[in-house]
Chains A and B, each alone.
Chain A
Amino acid sequence: MQTLLAGLAYDRWIIAALLWLPVVGAAAILLAPAARAKYIAFGVTLLEFVLSVGLWWAYVPSGPAVQFIAQHAWVRDWGIQYYVGMDGISVFLVLLTTFLMPLAVLGSWKGITDRERGFYALMLVLATGMIDVFVSLDLFLFYVFWEVMLVPMYFIIGVWGGKGRLYASIKFFIYTMVGSLLMLVAILMLYFAAGRQSGNWSFQYEHLLRYAVLEPRLQFWCFGAFFLAFAIKVPMVPLHTWLPDAHVEAPTAGSVILAGVLLKMGTYGLLRFAVPFFPAVAIGGTVGKVVIALAVVGMVYGALVAMVQPDFKKLIAYSSVSHLGFVVLGIWALTVQSVQGAVMVMLNHGISTGALFFLVGMIYERRHSRMLADFGGIARVVPAYAAILTVVSLSSIGLPGLNGFVGEFLVLLGTFRTHPVAATIGTTTVIFAAAYLLWALLRMLYGKITKPENEALRDLTRREYAVLVPLLVVIVWLGLFPGPVLRRIEPSSQRFIELVRLRLPQQVPTGPTVAPQDAPVVR
């Protein structure tokens, strides 16, 4: 397989293909008749996934830190570049994106009937934005796509959402924008600091990492700006309030992508930018403790609030807050296991929660209700649905043998070595998760049928199987054989920790650095 990919020069064009194929697809959709839109969108996203699968083999864990690099000048005088590449963490987040996209498109075939062309075109533009965020190695490029993505999501929630869509969409947009504009100022600060230090003006990630030396007070504020932008996106308590609104009002595909990928951009940002740029602020001192406390509070709080939700979709939304707390905890615990675990939780949460949102969407299309109280005992009417929902819920809870377990276990294991108290409190979250999800299942699926309307519910259709079966396969596969994935993530996690440790005592990296090599500047 590797020789085949090498023969195709796969590593040279893959990122460009992944980035620009959806844009071409979106243009095609806008020109084609509305009835074709969903087929084109599905075709493009499926092709995108098939192309991206090659990353599994093409990415060499023992190879250079960043692979598949592509670099072109964009605004030459100002050192703005189109500079992309992937490490082990990016590879899997990109794979997660390309995996969820065709499913999200397929999952909305029935639900989206109004303004179809717009919907599918926006989904494809969203795909470009998301992938670019995960592969950008130029902070300007990263920022541009980080912002670009808001627009399609705003419309997906605002146009195709539920009753409160107007409020939810504007809240989503403004919340994210507040954080990101402050980040913009911080990026400029880094840019000028690095430029003055080195005499070379560039937004390159490695360049800024190496030369951006700020005085401690400024470091604190810049970290604050980065952290705010990412913490809103994650979302961390107390900045999470946009999430339940956005999730509940978004159409199924919107929720899946929002939970599956968009939230990961927040944690990815913390992992890639906020912590490595300012380790002295982020890890050492009070700030680190506060972040860990917030993460733990988010885990427990999300779980407790999820427990009392009458609306199944809102329940899942709050469970996201809880799961993402694991990721932040894992990053801040700063051990190889915990960081690997954090990345695994990102992937698993994307898959399990994505699947849960699909399942809620499917039952909503049948009954036009998401209230747990409107169901009861439907396992008898829709056995296949009930079985899949049960398996997915168990994976979300973290049952050993399914995917959810691996990540959370690693995070807790890794965290226990550095922050035993946080890990201990965090462990209770797993119990709460079991409580809220099993209780929800109990009320919804089992027992006697309480509502006559539910007698005639249809079980899953073939299209719905096509959406859910791939997710189930991955859930079981990652649960039983996480090894290959972990092996590919490990070098990057290791590198992250070395990078942070190295920069911890003082900000100026001296001597032989483990920091990735300075890529040649395109002039």
Chain B
Amino acid sequence: MSRWLALLPEAALVVTGLLIFAALMGDGPNRERWARRAAEVGGLLVLVACVLTLGRSFEVFWVTYRVDAFSQLVKLAVAVGFLVSVFIVRDGAGQRDDARGEIFFFLLTSASGLMVMASAVEAVALYLGLEIASFSLFVLVPLRERFPLGREAGLKFLVVGLAASAVTLFGLSLLIGLTGTTKLDEMAVALAAIGSKPVALFGLALFLSGFLFKLALFPFHFWAPDVYESASHGVAAFVATASKVTAVALLCRLLALTQVTGTALVTALALAAAISMTLGNLVAIVQRDLKRMLAYSAIAQAGYITVGLVAFTHDGFSAALFYGVLYLLMNAAAFLVVARVSVDGANVSMDDLNGLHRRSPLLAATLLLALFALAGVPPTSGFIGKWFLFRAAMSEGWWWLVLLGAINATVSVYYYLIVVKHAYLLPAEGEEKPVPLTFGDKALCYGLSAATLVLGVWPTLLYDWASRAAANLP
């Protein structure tokens, strides 16, 4: 019976869902506050459950659902992402008035979908998780208050997302038809026997698109800038953290299915990575809205991660997983700062950051570390993460991609430094209003900054785990 304890995180999710649901049933003035408390407590429960079940392994539901080092790493990351996002949402500032409590519920359902994806080793279950995760976000993104662009962004997200989803389903059906099974393990064996037939590659490529969409890799990146800009901060943070890391993990899982080195699929991925990095970084330079800039930076970061993926080695997948988690931490820190600097949930422009180092030294320092990590300046975790990605690609001879990545990292330094300039070098216009921070804000700032530095200096703390997780791939 104790084997079933491995499903503790999922159980905690259900409990949290019920808690939030119960809180939302009432219609008193404190409805949102109760929902928020429920989400915070529940998120913490999920996190604790994830930590408690570490090291367990279990297969259940006719071998469609597997708990191993891989899924646990992803689940823990998702739990952290969910908790931080809930925390960033706080009172739902910027969210439509009548949906300030619901935001927690939909974030939770999305997180559940992501966790299902992490554990699913069967294609249909995987697809189900993908849909649960996406649909909740389709609902959340347009629910922004007084933001005309919001509906357009919501629509774009929905249409592109559904298209990607349909393509994924088509790819999936091709793969199932070809291999005669929906179980990923068996699929891997069957695909190995088939070899790299065009139809197998085609199916896999289509199957990948849903996850590339989540990762916002070129050419699936169109939604990202609009969604980041027009979703409320907490929702954008969730899209940028929990959703991203799961996408990375799933890409690792699917790419590990078959030996595709040297095929057109790899070339296509490499090209997508190259364009993604270059496009994201160049367009980010001219952005004035901090969240929109982070969106373009995310497109570029998706490119870096793909540089690790195209190595198609154990090292490459480990590096991508590792970087995915690091990226979650840096991005969470950046979004936390955005949310706290913002007044009434409005968007934050570069000029709003002026003089931040006096208004709130802690937020400024958190932002600084997050940006340096995104840029890849040592000794932050972003540097070592990129180093691992580049090293993995280099060992498989992708030197032009690494070179391009290095050049891109230089370009990215420029726009990250523009933000640093606003926060540190320019004085605030008018009076310097201090940014109020709660105890929780401060704790989170310290925690995320410490993680960025500690993992930068002792990467093995996490990398070993990522490496073990990658070893679990079929």
Contacts and interface: CB of A to CB of B under 8 A. Distances in A.
Contact of B410 (A178, A188, A189): A178
Interface in B80-107: none
Interface string B364-379: 0000000010000111
Contact of A144 (B378, B395, B407): B378
B377 A181 contact: no
B417 A184 contact: no
Interface string B398-416: 0100110011011001100
Interface in B357-394: 372, 377-379, 383, 387, 390-391, 394
B421 interface: yes
Interface residues of A, number: 31
Contacts of A170: 414, 417-418, 421
B211 interface: no
A147 B399 contact: no
Nearest to B358: A115
A174 B459 contact: no
B410 A177 contact: yes
Interface in A145-174: 145, 147-148, 150-151, 154-155, 158-159, 165-166, 169-170, 173-174
Contacts of B418: 170
A78 B322 CA distance: 15
A184 B387 CA distance: 9
A291 interface: no
A76 B460 contact: yes
B424 interface: yes
A166 B418 CA distance: 10
B421 A181 contact: no
Query: Interface on chain B toward A: helix, strand, loop, or mixed SS?
Result: helix
Contacts, number: 71
A192 interface: yes
Contacts of A165: 425
Nearest to A76: B460
Nearest to A147: B378
Interface string A123-152: 000000000000000000001110110110
B377 A147 contact: yes
Interface in A471-508: none
Nearest to A195: B395
Given A144-B378, A185-B399, A174 B406 contact: no
A8 interface: no
A159 B425 contact: yes
A1 interface: no
A367 B460 CA distance: 54
A188 B417 contact: no
Contacts of A177: 409-410, 413
A75 interface: yes
Interface residues of B, number: 28
B424 A184 contact: no
A170 B375 CA distance: 14
B395 A192 contact: yes
Nearest to B384: A75
B369 to A, nearest CB: 11
A174 B403 contact: no
A134 to B, nearest CB: 17
Contacts of A60: none
Contacts of B383: 144, 147
A185 B377 contact: no
Contacts of B390: 184-185, 188
Given A155-B424, A185-B403, A78 B391 contact: yes
Contacts of B387: 184
A77 B391 CA distance: 13
B394 A159 contact: no
B425 A151 contact: no
A170 B425 CA distance: 11
Given A158-B425, A192-B395, A185 B406 contact: yes
Interface string A166-205: 1001100110011001101100110110000000000000
Contacts of A173: 413, 417
A170 B391 CA distance: 28
A150 B416 CA distance: 14
A182 B38 CA distance: 50
Contacts of A145: 378
Contact of B379 (A78, A144, A174, A182): A144
Contacts of B391: 78, 188, 191
Nearest to B394: A188
Given A78-B391, A151-B372, A188-B402, A181 B407 contact: yes
B225 to A, nearest CB: 24
A151 B344 CA distance: 33
B421 A166 contact: yes
B414 A174 contact: yes
B453 to A, nearest CB: 12
**Interchain residue pairs A-B with the least CB separation, the first 8:** A181-B406, A144-B378, A188-B394, A158-B425, A177-B410, A147-B378, A178-B410, A185-B406
Given A148-B378, A177-B413, A188-B390, 15 more contacts: A75-B459, A77-B460, A144-B383, A151-B377, A154-B417, A159-B424, A169-B425, A170-B417, A177-B410, A178-B410, A181-B406, A182-B406, A184-B390, A188-B402, A192-B395
Interface of B: 372, 377-379, 383, 387, 390-391, 394-395, 399, 402-403, 406-407, 409-410, 413-414, 417-418, 421, 424-426, 459-460, 463
21 contacts: A77-B460, A144-B379, A145-B378, A147-B378, A147-B383, A148-B379, A151-B377, A154-B417, A158-B425, A159-B424, A166-B421, A170-B414, A170-B417, A170-B418, A177-B409, A177-B410, A178-B410, A181-B406, A182-B407, A184-B406, A188-B402
